[in-house]
């Protein structure tokens, strides 16, 4: 442990085993984690630089973590690593109302940023379901999505620039604060979604939008089957005016949510489809009428429409409760595939078939308008054979998505959970190019090694 003395001279170093255990994993079931050598709770850029300089000098792995809400094990500790916790770097440094950007530290929670923006009439759109508890640094590391992405885009669409500490402790500044700018190579988007493998994000300049007006309309269709709901989602998404949210919940999910929230959801439907519009009022009403027709013609047994904001919010609260509700029912293994929209009904059917094949319960919900689904495999706690079957179902779902031209992860990341499957999506030459970039920025491979499909 004497190695740590040089680090202890610069920052407070945590070696207490219980505390280390508390920062050794994120929220991904199934993903393994190791035992860290130590942890540091950084409160400044200088702290982060000190850790990285020490780690480079001692060729020690560093795993960065924010709020710890990750779903792919990307922040899980590695044996002998330093856990670098940046959650205390949580200041909003600037909100520029006129130029519409915010400058934040990585530990700022997504919801806190949005609330601060609201005070200036502005809005930070990316809204992962975890928005109340996940931090901007983690959102950037995973390129987090959310419910409004279908209309407003994902995290990467809102990152204008980053401050990043590299493996050797040097600090770089990427991007710009102007509306446009092409001066250097686009390093900003290289770091977005890189899951802690290329550098430590210590600051971000984020684009904000004008806050939306109050107008909101919601159509909820109850369908006999998931495939019918998926087909209706295809039609609604394919319209000239798309929805601002388009979400699906299958029967298993609806029942779990109803057991959790008791709000009178239709637990007999095969699936619910939620289509929301946020445009001006007259237009919303016309769109809602159209979507009701689409649902009915698509086989919906019941269609409900509302523009009352409390009812709209309650339905999306139900949708956001999907994962926590399923988690209450047992050990939950969460998927995050994304398929082309045209394959959505087929993928939904395939998931049901995989559940039957492996005798596991799968609750599927997700961002239907993006083809981004979160089938969640739930097994009884302590039932090891069931967990084995869950694992097999999990792999089958990934391969099914890839076979349909889909991807392994839409918004949660690869982390450790899907590390070994990246080779099935990305060919060897392209992976080699990724490895070269990894080594260029982190030649000792100390930043989150062995994650995201990167083997170097």
Instruction: Please report whether residue 285 would count as binding a copy of itself according to CB under 8 A.
Output: no
Instruction: Please report whether residue 154 would count as binding a copy of itself according to CB under 8 A.
Output: yes
Closer of 328 and 439 to a copy of itself (Cβ): 439
Q: How far is the CB of 16 from a copy of itself (least distance, A)?
A: 34
Cα 400 to its chain centre, rounded Å, is 21
Burial of 39 (0-12, 13-18, 19+ CB in 10 A): buried
CA angle, residues 197, 199, 202, in degrees to nearest 5:
135
Q: How far is the CB of 222 from a copy of itself (least distance, A)?
A: 25
Torsion of CA 100, 102, 108, 112, to 10 degrees: -30
Any residues with CB less than 8 A from the CB of 124 and at least 6 apart, and which? Answer: 102, 110, 113, 114, 117, 158, 206, 208, 209
Count of chain residues binding a copy of itself (CB under 8 A):
88
Q: How many Cα atoms sit within 13 Å of 449 on the Cβ side?
A: 20
Closer of 241 and 331 to a copy of itself (Cβ): 241
Q: In 119-192, which ranges are continuous DSSP H helix?
A: 136-142, 149-152, 187-191
Closer of 43 and 156 to a copy of itself (Cβ): 156
Instruction: Please report whether residue 143 would count as binding a copy of itself according to CB under 8 A.
Output: yes
Closer of 35 and 209 to a copy of itself (Cβ): 209
- Out of 142, 253, 284, 364, point to the residue binding a copy of itself (CB under 8 A): 142
**CB contact at 8 A, 60 and 100:** no
Q: How far is the CB of 390 from a copy of itself (least distance, A)?
A: 22
Q: How far is the CB of 232 from a copy of itself (least distance, A)?
A: 14
Q: How far is the CB of 2 from a copy of itself (least distance, A)?
A: 31
Torsion of CA 320, 323, 329, 334, to 10 degrees: 170
- Out of 59, 240, 262, 381, point to the residue binding a copy of itself (CB under 8 A): 240
Among candidate residues 255, 167, 183, 187, the one with its CA nearest the CA of residue 449: 167
Residues in the chain, total: 456
Closer of 33 and 438 to a copy of itself (Cβ): 438
Instruction: Please report whether residue 438 would count as binding a copy of itself according to CB under 8 A.
Output: yes
Q: How far is the CB of 83 from a copy of itself (least distance, A)?
A: 23
**CB contact at 8 A, 338 and 321:** no
* Buried b or exposed e, range 211-246, using 16+ CB within 10 angstroms: eeeebbbbbbbbbebbbbbbbbbbebbeeeeebbbb
Between CA 290 and CA 259 the distance in angstroms is: 32
Closer of 69 and 197 to a copy of itself (Cβ): 197
**What Cα–Cα distance (Å) separates residue 369 from each residue in 148, 235, 296, 307, 351?**
10, 10, 18, 20, 18
Instruction: Please report whether residue 283 would count as binding a copy of itself according to CB under 8 A.
Output: yes
Instruction: Please report whether residue 147 would count as binding a copy of itself according to CB under 8 A.
Output: no
Instruction: Please report whether residue 52 would count as binding a copy of itself according to CB under 8 A.
Output: no
Among candidate residues 301, 22, 323, the one with its CA nearest the CA of residue 146: 323
User: Footprint of a copy of itself on residues 384-423 (CB under 8 A)?
Assistant: 405-414, 418, 422
Q: How far is the CB of 397 from a copy of itself (least distance, A)?
A: 15
Q: How far is the CB of 345 from a copy of itself (least distance, A)?
A: 13
Between CA 86 and CA 52 the distance in angstroms is: 13
| Residue 244 φ then ψ, to 5° | -85, -20
Q: How far is the CB of 403 from a copy of itself (least distance, A)?
A: 13
Any residues with CB less than 8 A from the CB of 431 and at least 6 apart, and which? Answer: 422, 423, 453
User: Footprint of a copy of itself on residues 54-83 (CB under 8 A)?
Assistant: none
User: Footprint of a copy of itself on residues 82-101 (CB under 8 A)?
Assistant: 98-99
Instruction: Please report whether residue 452 would count as binding a copy of itself according to CB under 8 A.
Output: yes
- Out of 431, 444, 450, 456, point to the residue binding a copy of itself (CB under 8 A): 431
Q: How far is the CB of 64 from a copy of itself (least distance, A)?
A: 16
Instruction: Please report whether residue 118 would count as binding a copy of itself according to CB under 8 A.
Output: no
User: Footprint of a copy of itself on residues 340-379 (CB under 8 A)?
Assistant: 340-342, 367, 369-372
Bridge partners (DSSP) of residue 447 are 62
Helix (H) or strand (E) holding 175: strand 171-175
- Out of 137, 145, 196, 345, point to the residue binding a copy of itself (CB under 8 A): 145
**CB contact at 8 A, 31 and 2:** no
Instruction: Please report whether residue 282 would count as binding a copy of itself according to CB under 8 A.
Output: yes
- Out of 327, 426, 450, 455, point to the residue binding a copy of itself (CB under 8 A): 426
Between CA 368 and CA 273 the distance in angstroms is: 8
Instruction: Please report whether residue 441 would count as binding a copy of itself according to CB under 8 A.
Output: yes
Sign of torsion over alpha carbons 337, 329, 420, 165: positive
User: Footprint of a copy of itself on residues 299-338 (CB under 8 A)?
Assistant: 338
User: Footprint of a copy of itself on residues 177-236 (CB under 8 A)?
Assistant: 177-187, 189-190, 192-194, 197-198, 210-211, 213, 234
Instruction: Please report whether residue 425 would count as binding a copy of itself according to CB under 8 A.
Output: yes
């Amino acid at each position: 442990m004497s190695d740590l003395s040089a680090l202890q001279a610069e920052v407070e170093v945590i070696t207490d085993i219980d505390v280390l255990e508390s920062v050794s994993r994120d929220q991904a079931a199934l993903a393994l984690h190791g035992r860290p050598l130590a942890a540091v709770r950084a409160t400044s850029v200088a702290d982060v630089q000190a850790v990285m300089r020490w780690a480079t000098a001692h060729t020690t792995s560093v795993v960065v973590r924010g709020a710890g809400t990750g779903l792919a094990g990307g922040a899980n500790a590695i044996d002998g690593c330093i856990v670098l916790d940046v959650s205390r770097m949580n200041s909003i440094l600037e909100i520029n109302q006129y130029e519409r950007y915010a400058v934040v530290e990585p530990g700022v929670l997504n919801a806190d940023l949005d609330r601060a923006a609201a005070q200036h009439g502005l809005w930070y759109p990316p809204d992962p379901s975890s928005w109340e508890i996940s931090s901007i640094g983690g959102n950037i590391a995973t390129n987090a999505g959310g419910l409004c992405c279908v209309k407003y885009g994902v995290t990467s669409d809102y990152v204008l620039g980053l401050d990043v500490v590299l493996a050797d402790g040097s600090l770089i500044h990427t991007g710009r604060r102007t509306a446009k700018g092409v001066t250097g190579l686009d390093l900003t988007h290289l770091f977005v979604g890189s899951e802690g493998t290329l550098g430590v994000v210590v600051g971000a300049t984020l684009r904000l939008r004008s806050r939306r007006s109050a107008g909101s309309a919601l159509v909820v269709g109850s369908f006999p089957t998931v495939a019918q709901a998926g087909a209706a989602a295809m039609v609604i998404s394919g319209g000239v005016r798309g929805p601002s949210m388009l979400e699906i919940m299958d029967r298993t999910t609806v029942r779990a949510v109803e057991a959790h929230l008791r709000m009178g959801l239709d637990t007999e439907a095969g699936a619910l489809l939620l289509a929301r519009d946020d445009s001006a009022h007259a237009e919303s009403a016309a769109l809602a009428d159209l979507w009701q027709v689409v649902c009915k013609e698509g086989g919906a047994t019941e269609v409900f429409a509302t523009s009352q904001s409390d009812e709209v919010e309650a339905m999306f609260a139900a949708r956001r409760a999907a994962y926590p509700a399923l988690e209450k029912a047992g050990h939950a293994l969460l998927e995050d595939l994304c398929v082309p929209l045209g394959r959505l009904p087929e993928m939904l059917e395939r998931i049901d078939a995989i559940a039957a094949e492996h005798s596991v319960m799968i609750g599927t919900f997700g961002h239907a308008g993006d083809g981004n689904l979160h089938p969640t495999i739930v097994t009884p706690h302590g039932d090891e054979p069931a967990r084995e079957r869950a694992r097999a179902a999990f792999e089958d779902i990934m391969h099914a998505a890839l076979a349909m031209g889909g991807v392994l992860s839409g918004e949660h990341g690869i982390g450790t959970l899907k590390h070994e499957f990246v080779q099935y999506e990305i060919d060897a030459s392209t992976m080699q190019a990724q490895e070269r970039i990894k080594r260029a920025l982190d030649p000792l491979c100390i930043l989150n090694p062995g994650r995201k499909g990167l083997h170097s």
